[in-house]
Amino acid sequence: MTPEAIQAAAARMRGHVRVTPLLNAPLLDRLAGRRIFVKAECLQVTGSFKARGGWAAVSTLPAGARGVLAMSSGNHAQGVAWAAAAHGVTAVIVMPSDAPPVKIERTRAYGAEVVLYDRACDDRDALAARIAAERGLALVPPYDHPEVIAGQGTVGLEIAAQAAEAGIDVAEVLVCCGGGGLAAGIATALEVRAPGLRVRTAEPAGFDDMARSLAAGQRLRNLAATGSVCDAILTPTPGALTFPILRRLAGPGLAVTDDQALRAVALAFSHLRLVAEPGGAVALAAALHADDLPETVICTVSGGNVDPQVFRAALDRFGC
């Protein structure tokens, strides 16, 4: 992964993918005891940063490619479906049957064909490989793909520019982390564009494979596959491409409880007027709760495709 690849992805997505704002709120800072800046990727087209990687990958398909296939529980699904529709190519998305209904419905609304599988019984990878082969579709993985990482890395270019404009030279950049595509992309961009900004990953407690892998110096797996409200970022293990990047560039990983993630959802509602999903709010939760952070932190709110029942529960639980 190179900064040049990220720059090239940014050039291809101009006018299609949105430059999202870097937001802050005085009352939130007071609550946290530090300055928190939020990179609001929940305002991205399709409601998460995944539109960037989707666009970057689909826009570099070989000429004559019939279409794309992706496996995703929701946000990558929508990002790829939207990008494929905009490029006029077919998208087939393989989704678990227990994915949040709102994410399945919206993936279809963007024009993709959704193939559901049973997490317990079906072999997802075999199913996807068969469909891709039969129909001549190119696989777009959610994070272990150079163009996908380059696409997500455009968030880092924007953070570098927006931090400079806000007078921020030194800060930690907390990034919601599943397989590590967003964090690896941002870290690559910041290394060159804003060397005083250091990436740290944020994950749900119990699903902090990246934090543990970074500490151990090798890729480790989560013990469970499900069991957190942060559905968007429950990946089994760090990516083969993303892990070496983060091992070289990222600080120690952070983990937050589901309750802390839901509190961050509620505070994003109250103080930032943003709709965040729990998995997209773990970095904000870490910014609010972690105790080894500097005076200024930037965090991604990386997705807002929240199940309305979960959103209500967050408001109920945290007295909003």
For every residue of 148-182, which 3-state class applies, written as one string?
HHHHHHHHHHHHHHHHHHCCCCCEEEEEECCCCHH
61 DSSP assignment: P
Q: Which of 39, 50, 103, 228 is catalytic?
A: 50
The pattern of x and - marking residues 7 through 26 that bind a copy of itself according to CB under 8 A reads -----------x-xx-x-xx
Q: Quickly tell me which residue has 């945290």 as its tokens.
A: 318
Residue 110 found at the interface with a copy of itself (CB under 8 A): yes
188: number of Cβ within 10 Å: 26
230-269: contacts with a copy of itself (CB under 8 A): 269
Q: Report the residue number, 83 or 241, with the smaller CB distance to a copy of itself.
A: 83
Q: Report the residue number, 47 or 74, with the smaller CB distance to a copy of itself.
A: 47
CB 180 within 8 A of CB 201: yes
Phi and psi, residue 41, nearest 5°: -75, -10
Taking CB under 8 A as the criterion, the residue among 10, 272, 282, 290 binding a copy of itself is 272
Q: How far is the CB of 51 from a copy of itself (least distance, A)?
A: 11
286 DSSP assignment: H
* Total number of residues that touch a copy of itself (CB under 8 A): 32
Q: How far is the CB of 47 from a copy of itself (least distance, A)?
A: 6
Q: How far is the CB of 313 from a copy of itself (least distance, A)?
A: 11
Dihedral class, residue 82 (left if φ above 0, else alpha if ψ from -120 to 50, else beta): alpha
Taking CB under 8 A as the criterion, the residue among 37, 49, 55, 82 binding a copy of itself is 82
271-295 as b/e, with b when 16 or more CB fall inside 10 Å? bbebbbbbbbbbbbbbbbbbeebee
302 is a catalytic site residue:
yes
Tokens of 179: 């397989």
Q: Which chain residues interact with a copy of itself by CB under 8 A?
A: 18, 20-21, 23, 25-27, 30, 40, 42-43, 45, 47, 82, 102, 106, 109-110, 269-270, 272-276, 304-305, 308, 311-312, 315, 320
